Structure 1
Amino acid sequence: MEQVQLQLQFKVVALLFFSILTFKSSAQYTPPDGDYLLNCGSSASNTTPSSEDNRDFLPDQSALSTRKHNSVVGDANSPTLYAAARVFTDSSSYEFDINGTKTHMVRLHFLPLTTALSTAVFNVSANDEFNLLSNFSATNTTTPVKKEYLITVDAEKLRICFTPIYGLAFVSAIEVFSIPDDIIQSSEPTVVGQTDLNFSVSSQALETLYRINVGGSKVTLSSDSMWRTWTPDDGYLASGDTSHQNTFTNRINYNSPGGEKIAPDSVYDTCRSMSSENSNITWAFEASGHATHLVRLHFCDITSLTLADLSFNVYINDEIAHQDLEPWKFVERIATPFYIDFTADSRRLSSRGKWLIRVRIGRPTTTSRNMKGILNGLEIFKLVPASVQHKCYKKPSRLMVSCIVGGSALLSAASLLLFLLYRRRNRLKSKESATPAANSDVSQLTVRSVATNMNLELHITLSQIKSATKNFDESLVIGAGGFGKVYKGVLKDSGPQTRVAIKRASQRSKQGFPEFETEIHVLSGIRHRHLVSLIGYCQEHSEMILVYEFMSNGTLRDHLYNSDLPSLSWKQRLEMCIGSARGLQYLHSGLAHPIIHRDVKSSNILLDDNFTAKVSDFGLSRVVGPSLTETHVSTGVKGTFGYFDPEYVRTRQLTTKSDVYSFGVILLEVLCARPVIRTGLPSEEINLADWAMSWQKQGLLGRTIDPRLVGEINPNSLRMFGQIAEKCLEEYGADRPTMADVVWNLEYALKLQETEMAREPFEDSTNCATELPLPPAIGRWNSISSVVMSHQDDSSIARDTKSESTASQVFSQIISSEGR
């Protein structure tokens, strides 16, 4: 009996001892200055999210710093965390009292409860300093979307602002609490590759992308003192991996009290080790393109008898990040954790064009002994540099749109590459077919691969480029954009010298190889008077360079506002609109498969010596096809703020009518001579399309025109022009005209401007234009449609000139004030 009691007592003590150890390793962290756990939109006194997370989330009303323009969707009285959401119709924010300079964990939870929330596009910023989310949309999900950030704020308050871009903004739950100082190192991380850091990592916001338990199972919220989830690494291992998984059952030795806050025991007591001295282990993670990332590697030697048994190399993106890493240089005994931080840019390392961060451990470089390597855990954060781009401001009434949805760019790039592969297999073999003759079938678009062009006349050597630009002399820079700088140059060959514009990709360009390749594929096979011609390209020594015909008079935008250039007459502006519309018409309907430009804007319309307008910059273009039944391309939203088609934003379906919408915005720029988005104005005037169309619907578009044009515009021409712009800006693509319709009606507006009319005195004021009889509604007469359309397939200047005379004959029938 006594023996049984002793055995029972031993089990109780053992169980108690185990419980104490377990409690010590998983004891939840208590922030020294408290925490904020908000169930947004809820009125319930407290909410426990799940069995894994037993913290109490409270109603959010007390933290809201703006009382207006917000409401609740869902069941506010429900005890479930995601049963309700706080919804904003205008810029609104939460404010949290914090104690000075500390790093805070910020987690944002989103679950769209209605269709309106699933289509909402919005920005989220912190203290008007960090753009946490840009053009964010929580679409096509029935599970919560969680975004986590580490933010160091030197202030007494932390303000998180939600700004609607399309529709609404919303949030389901928010967590804010300070974290231990040890989690963010004061020393700068090791830079891998050519990453150019001109700021301190500790002063940036970090967005958590991955948190991986290498060699172990999933670590849930309840097993991590900081309520973090660690994912197993199995899905990120390179194929053919033969590593060993190791488990440790003894106590982990932390260097300092609270060291388990860096990562829990569950991460450090498992690892993955090299299966042999000559093997390696590789992990690959999809990441943001053209971004800098903090890569944290966690080590804890649980496989050796002594620390001297381990030595290995660490590689990130196939470059050595740490050579001959030996744990004894970092800690004094085995089973003691440490971590090393690195910064690295993502690389396009995938055969499918995806941006990746690849981590590898392998045999050491210098040691003569055969030694192995390990890895216990891995975290990847995206650096969010300080910026004030998304300040918390009052949203205009219908600021329709601008969303470049993260993640969709990867899908878009993959789709583009698949299409290009298809075109390569089916491209025409005849070299002459690349530039159709005047009497050839110009409806056939020849798309040639970059690899093929390397051996053809389009390729220009880097030495020729350097000679043309005097080794990229900064004094020759004539512009800059997302791709890089543009230089003026002169190509010297056996023939006459050629003036060219040379666009050189920047190392930190927001655009990359897909845009470079698309531009070559689109422009190498087409020629049109109103499309900028590609002279050649260069792809040597990691350079991506495009060479175009030189457009001496710059961009259309340069001649409208924010420059000292002479003002354009109304007739000149109409002619430029007609020319650029013809270029887009050719892309949409003059080829075997329509091309959608996707970035139509006034800065992408260039003017040559004679002020002929030409459409440029085809890096974002997409081809509809090859199926004859295809009318759109499903893709992520790309383009420029202020020009986005609202239907494209909602549906992610790109059509030729998306270009029509953007062109409608350009028409208003031409008329009003002001930027499409102009902050600092009353909310109803910030967005050009909203503001001008509000006057157009009242019949008072004349109140918006460029003051330099007052008294110059024929009222009938203005009204026709306003109708065209209004139809282009219809909310639904089906209600918009084709570019062929736009060309016809713009030519009509030009004829109305040129027509001599007897005017009453009041007609000198364009504000009174509505008192005149309306010209015909937008559209084309069937009897002359075929004549006007005859010039849409022109592929040479000669054919285009001929077609213009044909158009003049057509308009000779409408020289009266009433039109036809």
Structure 2
Amino acid sequence: MGLPPASSAGTVTVDIFSSAMILLVLCMSHALAAGAGAAYVPTDSILLNSGSTEDAADADGRTWLGDQTKNKNSFLSSGESRISTAAQQDPSLPSPVPYMTARIFTEAATFEFPVSAKTQHFLRLHFYPATYDGLDPACSFFDVTVAGGGITLLRNFSAYANAEALTQAYLIREFYLPPAAATGGTLRLTFTPSAARNGSFAFVNGIEVLSAPDVYGGAASLVGFSGEDVAVGGSSLQTMFRLNVGGQFLPPGNDTGLGRTWYDDSPYIFGAAVGITYPAADNVTIRFPSTAAKMAAPVDVYGSARSMGPDPQVNLNTNLTWVFQVDAGFTYLVRLHFCELQMSKLNQRVFDVYVNNQTATAGADVIGWAAAPAVPTFQDYTVYVAGGPGAAELWVVLHPSAASKPEYLDAVLNGLEVLKMNDSAGNLAGLNLRPSEYSDAEKQQEKEEEQFASSGTSSGMLKGAAGGAAALGLVCAICFAAYSRKRRRAVMGGVGSSGGWLPLYGSSTTTSRSTISGKSTASSHLSSLAVSLSRHFSLAEIRQATNNFNEKLVIGVGGFGKVYRGVVDGGTKVAIKRSNPSSEQGVNEFQTEIEMLSKLRHRHLVSLIGYCEEDEEMILVYDYMARGTLREHLYQSSSGGGGEAAPLPWRQRLEICIGAARGLHYLHTGAKYPIIHRDVKTTNILLDERWVAKVSDFGLSKTGPSSLDQTHVSTVVKGSFGYLDPEYFRRQQLTDKSDVYSFGVVLFEVLCARPALNPSLSREQVSLADWALLCKRKGKLDDIIDPALRGKISAECLAKFAATAEKCLSDHGLDRPAMGDVLWNLEFALQLQEAADAGAAPPLPPPGPAAGEHAYAHRQADSIAGSEMSEDSTDGVNPVFSQLINPKGR
């Protein structure tokens, strides 16, 4: 009773950590597009860029009207206000328009939009809670109401608090308003600062008003009351979640003309039963039954699906479950989108649908609903979520219907929407979100950013796109990025109230939490493989190894906690990283580090010896790296004075870079699936007593694409200022080329012996990547290399090394080399230097790696568990990339 062969539908197994999230995605095949039809053209289309003095286009090419055009307060009919520009631009904004300008209200003010009186409208409000005219965004609380029908959209709303809890720099609130909201052909929208808070103010950055067809009209089944329906038409709705189940992120331009955004569903899946996702086969054409049906969801939503998988026994014992945080005390419209892409007959795949532990539909058969395969359909349910003010959960569960005796025991879903319905008083407003506990990786970055802001140390998140340091501005902009980071915390759950529909993206975790004496503590859910490959130290052993955590043995401090030098087993030197016991940091990093490093063994990866998880302590034990970080030997010794060690010679720097490249190349290609480090920087390249480079700190690492059909994984952006791939930051689509970009910064850092970011320099020099690229293009690279290296690098070697670094920093990931190619070029650069040192003619470049040799083919050769190597083993890379000319060990 398994499913049809996977090849019939291009089935792809999906890892729970995989989530496609931001910006443009490739369209489905032309066969799918044949069923798409023409897009809806709204009769009313107003995009207002509040506070702007001129019209401007956003990143999607849509034109926004400046509401100060021709010195007129366009659409603002009453109330005093002023316009302002945000003090800083957060680099995660999708576009400056409409977020960088705002209209500020210190008293009630009303917009009047002339619209069609007999149609529905989408209303979208855009908020960027930055500093305007010195006003603290944390002091902004306000109401937003619509006069028609007495609708309250937001009450005592704080964009700042919600953005902080949702880990977003900006917010979008989307509402679907009935015709009654526009009385007399005018939609009146009023912003009122909260009277209960002194000094409060209201603001808005952008307003969208678009007419829409009757997408959510009619009636919906009332869950728990068989045969009873709830009228949805005429209600005001707020979009809470809109998901392309089993598919990729779809931006507004990929919708049907309604400007809706569809997110990936995987962050909301509960448990390990994530099922499989698959696209429609090439010979399948999506056929909409009517013009109205085309407006329900774009063809791309119906062209992919998530099912439970081919194993009937597993399916019978599990559910396909999505969990959402919502506001209690409201009724919700839950719309499930279906399109059968695999089955062709009735009773082949039949399943039950549950909403909040109540049967919504028993014996659901998509073919029966749609009357044919590849025909879209949807089912609407309403459910009341009880409880007092605050957060609640809404569950959607699918389970095979064994009672129907179908041919295949499976369930399937293509799309899912959750919309809040107004209550009897016309209210849609929920409580503001509360910032919840966030991951240690986020806290580590926040702490490093604060240190960077005060000391100039380069740590944290993003510098911006190549050539974009000027856009970031001077130190204030860099410090603001650290400030903004505090608002972008991963909150996969535990917030006070949902209130909004921007997804709570973040790395899923199997770590559960309990509370002991009021303090949260994590219990280990490490895999059996991780446990078997990692030694468990008792806390007593750790205390003995560190002389009870003697401060004199501290060799480093990070966001996770302090790192101690220690001795175990009667003489083995180790580095012991202890999570700060007074905080709740480190759960995600602790788990990821053990899971990753317990499976990886390579000469150029730092080795994890074991861990300790006892009495609320989280401790990791590593091989001791006697010479510390690469960064220490670039900055603290480059001057050569004051009793410091001599600067690292160029050849040694090259060999360190080659070692680090080998470690990263192994991560990308030596395992079954690629592993993306996500935090490549000179502080995460450690050196042992023999100066062998080892890549360390896998707390942010992520498993990469699991098949040839996937080009990336999508995830919240994590990394460090100055090193982070700008394309990854813009799109939130992570690939191994993101590590390549970071490594390119490392290469220039090694060459120039200066931090990746230095706010004390002039504006164009703040970012090393931007400054080095500019100097190289102007032919002035010699001016910025480490003075200790001048005259000691052969021209041929420098040209090859700099060209390699430059290629790594290409704006687009597709233009960057694979790490195998980077390694190949660095080894050739070393050969060029050796030839120059020996007075020989430069060698000719050997043939490069065979096309495709270092991509997915390598991954198929070795599983993670089977790729262990001892310290004395070979480097674990294909020989074509190593010892290119001289067959001697390095």
Q: Secondary structure at the match of 1:583?
A: helix
Q: Give yes or no for contact 1:40–1:173 (8 Å, CA) kept in 2.
A: no
Q: Which residue of 2 aligns with 1:599?
A: 679
Take 1:558 and 1:631, find their aligned partners in 2: how far apart are those partners? 36
Question: Counterpart amino acid of 2:595?
Answer: H
Question: Counterpart amino acid of 1:406?
Answer: R
Q: Secondary structure at the match of 2:564?
A: strand
Q: Give yes or no for contact 1:104–1:179 (8 Å, CA) kept in 2.
A: no
In structure 2, relative to structure 1, the CA distance for the partners of 1:650 and 1:108 (3 Å cut) is farther
Question: Counterpart amino acid of 1:543?
Answer: E
Q: Which residue of 2 aligns with 1:575?
A: 655
Take 1:108 and 1:695, find their aligned partners in 2: how far apart are those partners? 52
Q: Which residue of 1 aligns with 2:81?
A: 58
Compute the RMSD of aligned alpha carbons. 5.9
CA shift, 1:451, in A, is 5.9
Q: Deviations over 1:305-362 (max 9, x none)?
A: xxxxxxxxxxxxxxxxxxxxxxxxxxxxxxxxxxxxxx9984589xxx999xxxxxxx
Q: Give yes or no for contact 2:143–2:194 (8 Å, CA) kept in 1.
A: no
1:553 counterpart = 2:611: no
Q: Which residue of 2 aligns with 1:584?
A: 664
Take 2:582 and 2:671, find their aligned partners in 1: how far apart are those partners? 35
Q: Deviations over 1:730-749 (max 9, x none)?
A: 01111100111011100011
Take 1:448 and 1:800, find their aligned partners in 2: how far apart are those partners? 33
CA shift, 1:526, in A, is 1.4
| Residue from 659, 667, 687 that aligns with 2:747 | 667
In structure 2, relative to structure 1, the CA distance for the partners of 1:504 and 1:659 (3 Å cut) is same
CA shift, 1:497, in A, is 2.3
1:417 counterpart = 2:483: no
Take 1:95 and 1:412, find their aligned partners in 2: how far apart are those partners? 30
Q: Deviations over 1:651-710 (max 9, x none)?
A: 111100000000001001101111111112111000110000001112321111011111
In structure 2, relative to structure 1, the CA distance for the partners of 1:38 and 1:748 (3 Å cut) is closer
CA shift, 1:756, in A, is 3.0
Take 1:784 and 1:60, find their aligned partners in 2: how far apart are those partners? 55
Q: Which residue of 2 aligns with 1:471?
A: 548
Take 1:577 and 1:533, find their aligned partners in 2: how far apart are those partners? 19
Take 1:76 and 1:541, find their aligned partners in 2: how far apart are those partners? 50
Q: Which residue of 1 aligns with 2:320?
A: none
Q: Give yes or no for contact 2:748–2:772 (8 Å, CA) kept in 1.
A: yes
1:695 counterpart = 2:775: yes
CA shift, 1:94, in A, is 4.1
In structure 2, relative to structure 1, the CA distance for the partners of 1:531 and 1:104 (3 Å cut) is closer
**Residues 288-367 of structure 1 aligned to structure 2 (within 5 Å):** 346-347=436-437
Q: Give yes or no for contact 1:103–1:178 (8 Å, CA) kept in 2.
A: no
Q: Deviations over 1:515-568 (max 9, x none)?
A: 211111110011100000000011111111111000011101111115644311
Q: Give yes or no for contact 1:459–1:537 (8 Å, CA) kept in 2.
A: yes
Q: Secondary structure at the match of 2:717?
A: coil
Deviates more, 1:618-627 or 1:603-612: 618-627
Q: Which has the higher contact order (CA 8 A, sep 6+)?
A: 2
Take 2:386 and 2:884, find their aligned partners in 1: how far apart are those partners? 79
CA shift, 1:632, in A, is 1.6
Q: Which residue of 2 aligns with 1:745?
A: 825
Q: Secondary structure at the match of 1:545?
A: strand
Take 2:102 and 2:697, find their aligned partners in 1: how far apart are those partners? 49
Q: Secondary structure at the match of 2:873?
A: helix
Question: Counterpart amino acid of 1:397?
Answer: A
Question: Counterpart amino acid of 1:581?
Answer: A
In structure 2, relative to structure 1, the CA distance for the partners of 1:103 and 1:571 (3 Å cut) is closer
Q: Secondary structure at the match of 1:397?
A: helix
Q: Secondary structure at the match of 1:617?
A: coil
CA shift, 1:454, in A, is 5.2
Q: Which residue of 1 aligns with 2:298?
A: none
Q: Which residue of 2 aligns with 1:520?
A: 594
In structure 2, relative to structure 1, the CA distance for the partners of 1:125 and 1:285 (3 Å cut) is closer
Question: Counterpart amino acid of 1:471?
Answer: N
CA shift, 1:95, in A, is 2.5
Q: Which residue of 2 aligns with 1:105?
A: 140
Q: Give yes or no for contact 2:824–2:882 (8 Å, CA) kept in 1.
A: no
Take 1:743 and 1:497, find their aligned partners in 2: how far apart are those partners? 36
**Residues 14-25 of structure 1 aligned to structure 2 (within 5 Å):** none
Q: Give yes or no for contact 1:462–1:540 (8 Å, CA) kept in 2.
A: yes
Q: Give yes or no for contact 2:634–2:750 (8 Å, CA) kept in 1.
A: yes
Q: Which residue of 2 aligns with 1:396?
A: 469
CA shift, 1:416, in A, is 3.6
| Residue from 629, 634, 638 that aligns with 2:714 | 634
Q: Which residue of 2 aligns with 1:248?
A: none
Take 2:451 and 2:190, find their aligned partners in 1: how far apart are those partners? 25
Take 2:694 and 2:712, find their aligned partners in 1: how far apart are those partners? 24
In structure 2, relative to structure 1, the CA distance for the partners of 1:670 and 1:175 (3 Å cut) is farther
Q: Percent identity?
A: 39
1:481 counterpart = 2:596: no
CA shift, 1:84, in A, is 13
Q: Which residue of 1 aligns with 2:539?
A: 462
Q: Which residue of 1 aligns with 2:806?
A: 726
Take 1:218 and 1:806, find their aligned partners in 2: how far apart are those partners? 64
In structure 2, relative to structure 1, the CA distance for the partners of 1:176 and 1:715 (3 Å cut) is farther
Take 1:678 and 1:555, find their aligned partners in 2: how far apart are those partners? 19
CA shift, 1:513, in A, is 1.5
Take 2:844 and 2:689, find their aligned partners in 1: how far apart are those partners? 34
Take 1:389 and 1:133, find their aligned partners in 2: how far apart are those partners? 23
Q: TM-score, normalised by structure 1?
A: 0.51
Q: Deviations over 1:147-199 (max 9, x none)?
A: xxxxxxxxxxxxxxxxxxxxxxxxx999989965699xxxxxxxxxxxxxxxx
1:406 counterpart = 2:429: no
Q: Give yes or no for contact 1:38–1:174 (8 Å, CA) kept in 2.
A: no
Q: Deviations over 1:749-773 (max 9, x none)?
A: 111111137999xxxxxxxxxxx99
Take 2:608 and 2:357, find their aligned partners in 1: how far apart are those partners? 45
**Residues 11-160 of structure 1 aligned to structure 2 (within 5 Å):** 39-41=51-53, 42-43=67-68, 45-46=72-73, 56=79, 58-60=81-83, 94-95=132-133, 104-105=139-140, 136-138=168-170
Take 2:331 and 2:648, find their aligned partners in 1: how far apart are those partners? 58
Q: Secondary structure at the match of 1:560?
A: helix
Aligned residues: 509
In structure 2, relative to structure 1, the CA distance for the partners of 1:775 and 1:635 (3 Å cut) is farther
Q: Secondary structure at the match of 1:582?
A: helix
In structure 2, relative to structure 1, the CA distance for the partners of 1:664 and 1:233 (3 Å cut) is same
Q: Secondary structure at the match of 1:745?
A: helix
In structure 2, relative to structure 1, the CA distance for the partners of 1:685 and 1:285 (3 Å cut) is farther
Q: Which residue of 2 aligns with 1:780?
A: 848
In structure 1, list runs of 5 or more residues that go unmatched: 1-36, 110-123, 145-171, 184-216, 221-230, 242-271, 275-280, 287-342, 356-384, 422-446, 761-771, 815-820
Take 2:745 and 2:164, find their aligned partners in 1: how far apart are those partners? 29
Q: Give yes or no for contact 2:142–2:194 (8 Å, CA) kept in 1.
A: no
Q: Secondary structure at the match of 1:630?
A: coil
1:712 counterpart = 2:792: yes
In structure 2, relative to structure 1, the CA distance for the partners of 1:779 and 1:641 (3 Å cut) is farther
Q: Secondary structure at the match of 1:755?
A: helix
Q: Which residue of 1 aligns with 2:573?
A: 499
1:811 counterpart = 2:885: yes
Q: Deviations over 1:35-63 (max 9, x none)?
A: xx9845422655777xxxx86253516x8
Q: Deviations over 1:83-113 (max 9, x none)?
A: 999999xxx9743699xxx99536799xxxx
In structure 2, relative to structure 1, the CA distance for the partners of 1:103 and 1:180 (3 Å cut) is farther
In structure 2, relative to structure 1, the CA distance for the partners of 1:240 and 1:756 (3 Å cut) is closer
Take 1:467 and 1:103, find their aligned partners in 2: how far apart are those partners? 47
Q: TM-score, normalised by structure 2?
A: 0.47
**Residues 266-277 of structure 1 aligned to structure 2 (within 5 Å):** none
Q: Give yes or no for contact 1:677–1:688 (8 Å, CA) kept in 2.
A: yes
Take 1:802 and 1:104, find their aligned partners in 2: how far apart are those partners? 56
Q: Give yes or no for contact 1:648–1:658 (8 Å, CA) kept in 2.
A: yes
